[in-house]
Structure 1
Amino acid sequence: MYRESGWTLRQFAQAVNRIGTEHGTPLKYQQPSVHQWLGGHLPKESVRPLILEALARRLNRPVTRDEAGFPTLPQPHSRPTTAEELIDLGRQDMDPSRRKLLAAGLYSAALSVPAFSALVSEASADDHDRLTRPTGRIGPGEVDTVRRMTGKIADILDELGGGHARPMAAAFLVNTVAGYLHADASDEVHRNMLSAASDLTYLTGWMAMYERAHGLGQTYYLHALDLARESNDQLTYCRTLRGMSLQASHLRYGRKALEYANSAAEAAPQAGPRLVAFLRGQQAHASAMVGDRQGARAMLKEAETALSRADSRRDAVGGYDQAAFLFHVSHVHYESRDLAASIKTLRHSIRVMSPLERQGRLHAHAVLAQRQYELGHLEEACASWGRFLDDYEVLSTARGDEHFDKLRSLSVPRASPVVRDLHNRISTVAKLKAA
């Protein structure tokens, strides 16, 4: 960072001294002190925030303790802010050499998340006061920029897959949103920016989950919860919990999935009908996973009723529509071991799915094929796998890779032309993906 700044040792010392004067603690550092810092000598703890601020102003971007090589103190008051932690996480996620290591992080099935009401009372303005101000003042326009970009990234996710969309989201978080979070703003604008950042962080966690980086996805989700709490955004908080429930259900942690789904529902007593449907659908799936068929049916009925009351608008992030509802119905049938009903409902879900949702369609066709194969309908399964491959060829998605690996590992007899054609197609796609 010193080399990037273009400073001389004297200029670096002067910048730190100026900020010390601004904060009411005049300093008289000179070149030898800076030379020692660059050689690895840690400056006094009280001076470290001033050095970070000086670098942030010079480089016109946030600079965290971790990036500067300063240890994080164990005292609660010196805990890095949510924004700082998010910057470090996003910066690592942008780095291809670090991304694989991040993706290997472990998912914690023992994690407990407090209710929203228990957290709101703990929120304060302390984090805002501790942030640096390298990017001037922001207003409603910057909040709108983050929300619009989040919608665009969600569109790219649907059209091209998370492999392309998530690095973009991480880069936008680090290079733009982090600066906005550190900028001066009115209380209302700052809260709205925290809320918008929470939405984007939730989406990034969603993509990490679908890219099979479950530990990383969980970490993004936790940061989204923190941002939602700080902004008092109850709806984003509950929507993130619902995403955590979906992740737990995918990993077959039924009890944990139900716990998160119920917590999400409790966090949104004033939610609109579309979000209510969203939450009840996930509660139904999780209830079926733990053997509560009656509870699952009751939740599905509530979800259907709520969805019928929703307006025609669909949120870019975490949206819920008829196709998503039918997907939940299909899951409940499957957990209840009614394969035929599950397949029929899943077909209906695919028929009403938006043609723009290629990511969702890819996943749905793969799940449909697996269930058809499980029921013994081999040729129908081959046709569904063929439709899955149509989307998989052009999408960059680890969820697609997971389905493709399962498909290649199946021992399917090549007795019919349909099966032989599928095997030939699998070989062609495998060569294409390896190129």
Structure 2
Amino acid sequence: MAKGARNVCLERLLDETTWTQSQFATAVNRVGTEQGRPLKYDASAVNHWLGGTIPVPKVRPLILEALARKLGRPVTETDAGFPTTHGPLDAQRSTVEGLLELGRHDMDPTHPSRRGVLGTALFSVALTIPDWPDVVGRMEAVQTGRVSRIGHSDVATVEAMTAKLSDLDDQFGGRMARPMAAAFLVNTVGPHLRADASEKVRRAMMSAASDLLYLTGYMAVDEGLHGLAQRYYVKALELAGAADDHLTYCTTLRGMSVQAVDLGHNAQALRLANAAAAAAPNAGPRMRAFLAGQQAHAYAATGHRAHALQHIREAEVAMEKAESRARVFGSYDPSALAYHIAQVQFGLGDLAGSVENMAESSKLRHGVYRRTRVRYDAMLAERQLQLGHLEAACATWDRVLDDYPLVQSGRADDRVATMKKLLRPHLHNGTARALHERARSVTVAA
């Protein structure tokens, strides 16, 4: 840490929070723990920062995030009186340049610069999310690059590749599929976005790129790289707006809500879920179910019982209308609805009902969605154990271990680690002991 003049900017921010120095230190430690970097700062450290000592670079984002959460707005390095760093993900770059830089630093697992983009793992509740009026139609003019002109066949190629990457992600996990998605963004999609095209093709390409960015962000969530996922999601919002694509814009906002609620940032999750629904006034029944189900989950997580029940019923009614229609890539299905019903019940304290609907969701999902099966069946087993149904939980966890070695997923890793921890107090039971031994021997595909 370097010592300089008293940091009046940081002092002003601290005064605005009304925190004591000890409370400030505790908030920073909490953010560090979320990122897997436990800290032990106390009031004396804060006093040093206020006196002009510059925190080490890896701690500064944690300080900014703690302040942003308290103040409810983004806080920059300049705001806090810290030296400004201009990394490879400078937000002032144009939309296309920004997504190229993002993908370029994410695509090569062996490249030293990738550490910078993977270091953006911190989820920010104060992230600035562009509203629909702020992004619709706004993007720099297309410039001719090494691809002279693109047509509908190029758009179809991007759409088909996105669908294939989605299949790979679901079968094998985000850790395996995301570098391929990033490489495709850089090597193919970026040049296409810079190429000459008719207005219709140009918008279709931006829409296809937005879908791919959303998927890549989702895969980053799967690996636990939550700040990186947010960057992909924001780029997806920008391109969806530029393409006048309400569907992908709303889908991305909903995805951000899912990310937030899974991390326990429930108020932020509700704000994003409601924003997604508000931006889709003319949604069809399946999309309505897709959005309302997430609203119900977020309302339940925030303790709003009446609103949660209202929205889950809306999702059920919409799904009944949608089931007679053909399904499309990435669509909402009955297994997803059963999962949302289970999450609403769990959030409202109905553990037994939640287990029943999680089991129904698992049955409907049988044979498909491998990575999702691992995560959701692990959640089902945890809740079965909470009910005291040890044998049933072990049977469900056994299914998890059938699929787990084939999936490269940070979230799946976390669930299996939780399983081992929860089984330890029950090792006197032969079934639990056998399962625990099997779990210790299981390895994930390289």
The secondary structure found in structure 1 opposite 2:105 is: helix
In structure 2, C-alpha distance between the alignment counterparts of 1:359 and 1:219, rounded to whole Å = 23
In structure 2, C-alpha distance between the alignment counterparts of 1:434 and 1:140, rounded to whole Å = 38
The match for 1:420 is 433
The match for 1:221 is 233
Does the aligned pair in 2 maintain the 1:285–1:332 contact within 8 Å?
yes
Report which of the two structures shows the higher radius of gyration computed on alpha carbons: 1
5 Å matches for 1:221-240?
221-240=233-252
Deviation (angstroms), 1:145: 0.6
Deviation (angstroms), 1:118: 4.3
Does residue 179 of structure 1 match 2:191?
yes
In structure 2, C-alpha distance between the alignment counterparts of 1:83 and 1:124, rounded to whole Å = 12
Deviates more, 1:163-172 or 1:282-291: 163-172
The match for 1:104 is 119
Q: Per residue, is there more helix in 1 or in 2?
A: 1
Does the aligned pair in 2 maintain the 1:103–1:212 contact within 8 Å?
no
In structure 2, C-alpha distance between the alignment counterparts of 1:354 and 1:138, rounded to whole Å = 40
Deviation (angstroms), 1:434: 9.0
In structure 1, C-alpha distance between the alignment counterparts of 2:230 and 2:187, rounded to whole Å = 22
The match for 2:361 is 349
In structure 2, C-alpha distance between the alignment counterparts of 1:245 and 1:191, rounded to whole Å = 26
The match for 2:93 is 80
Amino acid at match of 2:183: A
Deviation (angstroms), 1:316: 2.2
Does residue 283 of structure 1 match 2:295?
yes
State which of 402, 417, 423 in structure 2 corresponds to 1:390.
402
Distance 1:263 1:159, change over 3 A: same
Deviates more, 1:184-193 or 1:108-117: 108-117
Does residue 253 of structure 1 match 2:265?
yes
Deviates more, 1:307-316 or 1:350-359: 307-316
In structure 1, C-alpha distance between the alignment counterparts of 2:402 and 2:118, rounded to whole Å = 27
In structure 2, C-alpha distance between the alignment counterparts of 1:84 and 1:315, rounded to whole Å = 31
Does the aligned pair in 2 maintain the 1:117–1:267 contact within 8 Å?
no
Does residue 370 of structure 1 match 2:382?
yes
State which of 105, 115, 120 in structure 2 corresponds to 1:92.
105
Distance 1:177 1:222, change over 3 A: same
Deviation (angstroms), 1:117: 3.0
Amino acid at match of 1:203: L
The match for 1:115 is 131
In structure 2, C-alpha distance between the alignment counterparts of 1:71 and 1:433, rounded to whole Å = 33
The secondary structure found in structure 1 opposite 2:406 is: coil
Deviation (angstroms), 1:157: 1.3
In structure 1, C-alpha distance between the alignment counterparts of 2:292 and 2:345, rounded to whole Å = 16
In structure 1, C-alpha distance between the alignment counterparts of 2:94 and 2:307, rounded to whole Å = 40
In structure 2, C-alpha distance between the alignment counterparts of 1:253 and 1:102, rounded to whole Å = 23
Does the aligned pair in 1 maintain the 2:130–2:237 contact within 8 Å?
no
The match for 1:358 is 370
Q: Which runs of 4+ in 1 moved over 6 A?
A: none
State which of 138, 150, 153 in structure 2 corresponds to 1:141.
153
Does the aligned pair in 1 maintain the 2:217–2:233 contact within 8 Å?
yes
Aligned residue pairs: how many? 355
Amino acid at match of 1:400: A
The match for 1:301 is 313
In structure 2, C-alpha distance between the alignment counterparts of 1:132 and 1:329, rounded to whole Å = 49
Which runs of no fewer than 5 residues in structure 2 stay unpaired? 1-85
In structure 1, C-alpha distance between the alignment counterparts of 2:172 and 2:204, rounded to whole Å = 29
Deviation (angstroms), 1:356: 2.2
Amino acid at match of 1:401: D
State which of 344, 347, 361 in structure 2 corresponds to 1:332.
344
In structure 2, C-alpha distance between the alignment counterparts of 1:71 and 1:107, rounded to whole Å = 18
Q: TM-score, normalised by structure 2?
A: 0.76
Does the aligned pair in 2 maintain the 1:103–1:214 contact within 8 Å?
no
The secondary structure found in structure 2 opposite 1:94 is: coil
Q: CA offsets per residue over residues 328-366 of structure 1, 9 Å max, x none? A: 000001111111110001000111115121111111111
Does the aligned pair in 1 maintain the 2:173–2:371 contact within 8 Å?
yes
The match for 2:304 is 292
Q: CA offsets per residue over residues 87-121 of structure 1, 9 Å max, x none? A: 1111111121444543331211112424313443x
Which runs of no fewer than 5 residues in structure 1 stay unpaired? 1-69
Q: Between the two proteins, what is the percent identity of the paired residues? A: 46
Deviates more, 1:374-383 or 1:176-185: 374-383
Deviation (angstroms), 1:166: 1.1
Amino acid at match of 2:432: V
